[in-house]
Amino acid sequence: MRFLLDDEQREFARSLDGMLSAADTPGAVRAWAAGDTAPGRSLWTRLADAGVFALAVPERHDGLGPLPLELAVAFTELGRHAVPGPLVETVAAAALLDRLDGVGVDGAAAAWLPQIGSGKALVSLCVPAAGGPYALDADAADAVLVVEGDTVRLAATTGPVQPSADPARRLARPLGGSVLARGPAVTAAAAYAAETAALATAAHSLGLGRALLDRTVAYVRQRTQFGAAIGSFQAVKHRLADTLVALEFAQPLLHSAALALAEGADHSAAEVAAAKVTAGEAAYAAARTALQLHGAVGYTEELDLALWIRKARPLRDAWGTPAACRARVLGS
């Protein structure tokens, strides 16, 4: 297997990073949390123009994919910038529709996949068995798909938003709707979609963790106490060194899981689970470290750091809790 990204993949990451750095992404996160989705949707369109969503859409529906490794590269950058919205759910919905195309929901696939790829449609997805009872950002989504048992339906409406610990994550229960398809193909497609969601969430976590580390390193270099930059104190250094160790060893697991998913390998579920738990734990630990080393200023909502810190724990637990992932690694 190829262990390193090629030049094109690295350039893709750099260009997304550059674009999201130039955009007012923190402003879009804050607006999203307040219920104003316009800046977030504008960002979404730009991501679609850069090809992000097309990576999850097959060529027959005007996409480029499915390309799990490139998706992992892209989602690492989305996480680095804490981009709001049902990003993971949209690409997972694309994975679901892709697998159901030809075995029951051709109409839905033809209707939604090109729109997902072009960025016109935000789609949320709820698979209670894999990710809990809520659909993320259902109130902002253009469609909400629900898989229960061997049945997939298009939700008619959603319940009231249940506030999340991360205000930029808006959770709601999907309600009612018509059955699109039923049967073993749905179960298999949902499993594939859940793996895609777990992989994208792992990448999102890894990017989030790297951003938390970068921001904290920058902070401890300039913050002084006792007449010295706190970054010169060994206790501070060692905590940041451990943060880097954890993130660095999550990276190859993510890379390998993406390749396993791309190949349709039997062991992809275990590989994705290993990447998910490792990246999720590393990012959450990075958030704890970021908060600790920023001190009280890190505990304030004003500092943009809060946007990253609040996302770390929900991402760690979304689309596969650590316990579920560990059980899957051992095949139990």
Partner 1 sequence: MDLDFSTAEEAFRAEARAWLTAHVPETPLPSLETERGFAAHRTWERTLFADRWSVVSWPEEYGGRGASILRWLIFEEEYYAAGAPGRVSQNGINLLAPTLFEHGTDEQRARVLPSMASGEVIWAQAWSEPESGSDLASLRSTAERTDGGWLLNGQKTWSSRAAFADRAFGLFRSDPDTAKPHQGLTYLMFPLDADGVTVRPIGRLDGKPAFAELFLDDVFVPDHDVIGAPGQGWRVAMSTAGNERGLTLRSPGRFTSAAARLTALWRETADPSDTALRDRVADAVIGARAYRLSAYAGASRLAAGGTIGAESSLNKVFWSELDIALHETALDLLGPYGELADAAGDAPAHGAWAEGHTFSLAGPIYAGTNEIQRDIIAERLLGLPKGRR
Residues that bind partner 1 (CB under 8 A): 1-4, 213, 217, 220-221, 228-229, 231-234, 236-238, 240-242, 244-245, 248-253, 255-256, 260, 265, 267, 271, 274, 277-278, 322-323, 325-327, 329-330, 332
CB of 332 to partner 1, least distance (A): 7
**Is 42 in a helix, a strand, or coil?**
helix
CB of 290 to partner 1, least distance (A): 13
CB 197 within 8 A of CB 92: yes
Structure tokens at 105: 């929901």
CB of 291 to partner 1, least distance (A): 18
Radius of gyration of the chain (CA): 19
User: Where do runs of H (alpha helix) occur along the chain?
Assistant: 7-22, 25-33, 38-49, 68-80, 87-100, 106-118, 128-131, 184-222, 234-263, 268-294, 305-317, 322-329
- Closer CB to partner 1, 22 or 226, in the complex: 226
Helix 184-222 with 305-317: angle, nearest 10 deg:
150
Tell me the β-bridge partners of 162. Answer: 171
Rounded to the nearest 5°, which phi and psi values hold at 227?
Answer: 80, 15
- Closer CB to partner 1, 249 or 299, in the complex: 249
- Closer CB to partner 1, 48 or 69, in the complex: 69
Render 187-251 in DSSP notation, one character per residue: HHHHHHHHHHHHHHHHHHHHHHHHHHHHHHHHHHHH-EETTEEGGGSHHHHHHHHHHHHHHHHHH
CB of 118 to partner 1, least distance (A): 34
- Closer CB to partner 1, 296 or 330, in the complex: 330
- Closer CB to partner 1, 144 or 203, in the complex: 203
Structure tokens at 14: 């750099």
- Closer CB to partner 1, 23 or 217, in the complex: 217
Task: Give 15-36 as a 3 state SS string.
Answer: HHHHHHHHCCHHHHHHHHHCCC
- Closer CB to partner 1, 85 or 231, in the complex: 231
CB 136 within 8 A of CB 87: no
CB of 295 to partner 1, least distance (A): 17
CB of 80 to partner 1, least distance (A): 16
CB of 313 to partner 1, least distance (A): 18
